[in-house]
Amino acid sequence: MTVNLTRRAVLGAASTFAVGAAFNIRKANAAEFEYKFGANVPASHPLAIRAQEAADAIAKETDGRFKMNVFPGNQLGGDNDMLAQIRSGGLEFYAVSGVSGLSTLIPAGSMYGIGFAWPDYATVWKGMDGELGAHFRKQITGAGLVVMDRIWDSGFRQMTTRSHPVKTPDDIAGLKMRVPVSALWTSMFKALGALPASINLAEVYSALQTSIVDGQENPLVTINTTKFYEVQKYCSTTNHMWDGYWFVGNRRAWGALPDDLKEIVSRNINDTALRQRADIERLNATLKTDLEGKGLQFVEPDREAFRDKLRSAGFYAEWRKKYGDEAWGIFEKAVGKLA
C-alpha cells in the first residue's frame, strides 16, 4: 500500500515530534530533587569550592536526579538566618560552625572550640573522626538535624590587630576584638582581658575598616579570602581555637530521598570533606608567605602564657561545669588535661 504524505502532514508530524522530543529532554534533565546548600564563607574559600565539586559529582553520578545548588557568602542570610531555615525546611543543607552556630541548639556544640586546647591537626582528626566526633553527631541528630560523618575544616584561628602585635595576654587587654556570635568566644576573650564584640562574618571587614573593632580572629584562609589584611597590620599565630563546619541537613528533606540517592549524596560529601581538609592544611603552609607579601606582619606568641591566663581566670573550670563531666571527659581524652 502506498502512503501519500502532503507537505502539511510532514510538517505537522515533524512539529509534533519536536514538541515531544523537547518535552522528553526537559523531563530527562529535570532533577527529581533540587536542594539548596548555604554557607557563610566566600565563593573563593575551599569549603565553597569543594562543595560545588561535590554537587557536580552527585549530579553526574545520579544522572541529574539530584541537584545541589551551592550558595556561599551568606547569600541566603547570616548564620542565624540559615540555622533557622535549616530547622524549618526553607534550606536543605547548611555548613554550620559547631562553635558559633550549633552551640545554640546542642549543649556541647561549642566544646571543641575551647581555647588553646588542640596541639595539632593529627590530634584534631583523631578526636573528631573518633569518639569525640561521634558524641557531637549524636547530639546534633538529637536536635532534629541530619549530619554527615565527616566534619569540614575551618582551621586553626589566629589573631589580627591594627595598632600593635599580640604576643602575650597583656597585649590583648582592652582591645575591642570581633568574635563570632558565640558565648564561648565571648567568654574566652573576656577571660583574656579583651573587649569582645559579636559580629557576623559578612560584616567584619567594614567593622575593622571603620574601627568599630580593633582586631579579629580567624583562620589564615579566611583572613586571606575576606581580605582582612587590607585593614589589619599584625597577625599573631596563636592557634588559639580550632573550628570546623558540620554539613547538616533538614530531616524531612533528607527523609524524602530514596536510599540510593542518600548513599550517593552522603558518600560524595564525606569524601569531599577529606579533600577540603587537605586544602586547608596545604593553604596554611603557604598563606603566611603570601600574606606577608600583602603587608601583614606575623608574630610568634607565647601560647602557654595564654593557657595559664585562661586557667587562672577560671575559664576551663567554668566551661567544664557547663558542658558536664561526661562530655568534658570525652573532650580531655582527645586533647589532654585542661582543668
pLDDT band at 30 (very low <50, low <70, confident <90, very high): confident
Q: Residue 297's pLDDT is what?
A: 98
pLDDT given at position 84: 93
Q: What percent of the chain has pLDDT over 70?
A: 91
Average pLDDT score over residue span 323-333: 95
Pairing of β 93-97 and β 33-38: parallel
Contact partners, residue 168, CB within 8 Å, separation at least 6: 301, 302, 305, 306
| pLDDT beyond 80 at 99 | no
Distances (CA, A) of 189 to 88, 155, 300: 33, 19, 19
Residue type at 219?
P
- pLDDT tens sequence across 280-323: 989 888 999 999 999 999 999 999 999 999 999 999 999 999 99
* 183 pLDDT more than 80: yes
Please tell me which residue, 84 or 24, carries the higher pLDDT value: 84
- Identify whether the C-beta of residue 250 lies closer than 8 Å to the C-beta of residue 91: yes
Round the average pLDDT of the chain to a whole number and report it.
90
Q: State yes or no: pLDDT of 7 exceeds 70.
A: no
The mean per-residue pLDDT over the stretch 241-265 comes to 97
In the predicted structure, residue 8 carries a pLDDT above the cut 90: no
pLDDT band at 29 (very low <50, low <70, confident <90, very high): low
Q: Where are the domains of the chain?
A: 33-335
Please give the CATH number for the structural domain made up of 33-335: 3.40.190.170
Task: Give the residue-averaged pLDDT of 66-83.
Answer: 93
Confidence of residue 19 (pLDDT cuts 50, 70, 90): very low
